Amino acid sequence: MNAESIIEDALRISRTLLTEIESKALLKEVGIPTVETSLAASKEDAMSTSKKLGFPVVLKIVSPDITHKSDVGGVKLGLKTSKQVGKAYDEIMSAVKQRNPQANVDGVSVQKMARPGTEVIIGMTKDAQFGPVLMFGLGGTLVELLKDVSFRIVPLERDDAREMIREIKGYPLLEGYRGSKGVDTTVLEEILLKISAFVDNHPDIKELDLNPIFAYEDGAVAVDARVVLEGNPKTGL
């Protein structure tokens, strides 16, 4: 499905929070590298899919009503066998049912564990005065702790993307700090430019988060993604 179809199908049923599967499909169309992710609607499906992808894998709850998957026990990392996958599936479903019994659940996403990298975040929100605004910073849990981020109004030029990356306080980590490997910041610039063009061409997108993006010496990959559309949101977390 293309971006327009995914967005139109969601809005047709007044759904504004896209699932991880849908969000990654949008990113893939834009040309942003993401971790291969498959939807599993049952425990047996999750176990067979994990074998095809290769271990270790990650399971995450897929629900249009759940924004913060970790908060409801909806994420299991580093699963190394199909038996562990089956157990993790049951634990996720049990935790979600207990903490958010009204949530509609499509199943779980199954993805291969990405190799560790420097975690960064790219996000977009809409400002009432300026419209879409892009954010860049250190990702994972660090973004909430350090609040080390930069902002630019859409659309971005190449110089804007370059400056966004270089003006955060944590930029030395991206260059390679005290013996650690640096990352390919040119790839991060490209991702920022692609996201800028994407949201500029799709006014139905209200919020977008790629967190974390694992940045490497030789590229980058979005591990998780969240897209929120304009409209009347359904009740969720």
Residue 107 has pLDDT above 60, yes or no: yes
CA distance 28 to 94: 31
pTM of the model: 0.89
> Within a 10 A sphere around the Cβ of 175, how many other Cβ atoms?
12
**Which stretch of DSSP H or E encloses residue 221?**
strand 219-222
What residues does 207 pair with on adjacent strands? Answer: 228
- Please provide the CATH number assigned to the domain covering 118-229: 3.30.470.20
Average pLDDT on 3-14 reads 90
Plot region of 112 (φ>0 → left; ψ -120 to 50 → alpha; else → beta): beta
Domain ranges of the chain: 3-112, 118-229
Residue 98 has pLDDT above 90, yes or no: yes
CA distance 192 to 136: 8
Average pLDDT on 214-233 reads 89
The structure tokens listed for 139 are 């990702």
Name the average pLDDT for the chain: 92
pLDDT digits (tens, 9 = 90+) for 136-193: 998 866 566 667 899 999 999 999 999 999 999 989 989 987 777 899 999 999 999 9
CA distance 79 to 37: 15
pLDDT at 236: 37
Q: Which band of pLDDT confidence, cut at 50, 70 and 90, is reported for residue 45? A: very high
- Please provide the CATH number assigned to the domain covering 3-112: 3.30.1490.20
* C-alpha pair distances (Å), 45 with each of 7, 17, 42, 110, 151: 26, 24, 5, 10, 41
